[in-house]
Copies of this chain bind each other. A is one copy, B any other.
Amino acid sequence: MTELEQYVNSYFGVAEAGELAEISSLFKPEMIKKGDYFLLTGKAADRLSFIQTGILRVFVETANKEVTQWISTKGSFITDLSGFIFEKPARWTIQALTDTVLFTIKREDYKKIGVLMPKWHELEKLFIARCFITIEDRIFTHLSMTAEERYALFFEQNKSLFNEVPLQYIASMLGMTPETLSRIRKK
């Protein structure tokens, strides 16, 4: 089983090998150089990708500052959900923080999966529900924790990320300034 197949299976729980191979074959390799963009705010978000290697940052420009919404790493899927599912302009800009290898599926091919495999929509539903539950937890951290507590929790769960990406992006993602993160880390 390829790594992609393993992940499709673990995220979506597709049991049968033939189906898994069929789905995976719709994903095509794609390379992005460090600093280049996977997606720009306002553009069509017509693809979903699996991160084979590399790190991507999901962010958006506001009047005052750039806000990093999320940092995605090897072994996860990436897209702008609103754009991909509802065919709206992308809300987020997505940039590679390292050289990145993706397996990408176009929206039109993605739609074929649901036709070929009727239970796919249910698996998708479960996948998105898990995403919802995860982000619900994240809201909770903002309602109930200080910056320091949010840092401690995130650091515990993502130690290696701190060597791999600029800390300012992690700070933004945690809802604090780079200075505050720096001071918390000094302790």
Instruction: Name A residues whose Cβ lies closer than 8 Å to a Cβ of B.
Output: 60, 62, 65, 67-69, 81-82, 85-86, 91, 114, 118-119, 121-122, 124-126, 128-129, 131-133, 135-136, 138-140, 142-144, 172-173, 175
Contacts and interface: CB of A to CB of B under 8 A. Distances in A.
Given A125-B124, A125-B128, A128-B128, A139 B140 contact: no
A122 B129 contact: no
When all copies of this chain in the complex are counted, the total is 2
A128 B130 CA distance: 10
A81 B173 contact: no
A133 B60 CA distance: 15
Given A114-B122, A136-B69, A81 B143 contact: no
A36 to B, nearest CB: 24
11 contacts: A60-B140, A65-B144, A67-B140, A69-B139, A81-B129, A121-B122, A124-B125, A125-B125, A132-B135, A135-B139, A142-B175
A67 B144 contact: yes
Nearest to A137: B91
Given A69-B139, A118-B118, A62 B144 contact: yes
A118 to B, nearest CB: 6
A125 B65 CA distance: 33
A122 B123 CA distance: 10
Given A124-B125, A125-B125, A128-B132, A143 B85 contact: no
A119 B118 CA distance: 9
A121 to B, nearest CB: 4
4 smallest CB-CB distances across A and B, nearest first, come from A121-B121, A121-B122, A125-B125, A142-B142
A140 to B, nearest CB: 7
A114 B133 CA distance: 22
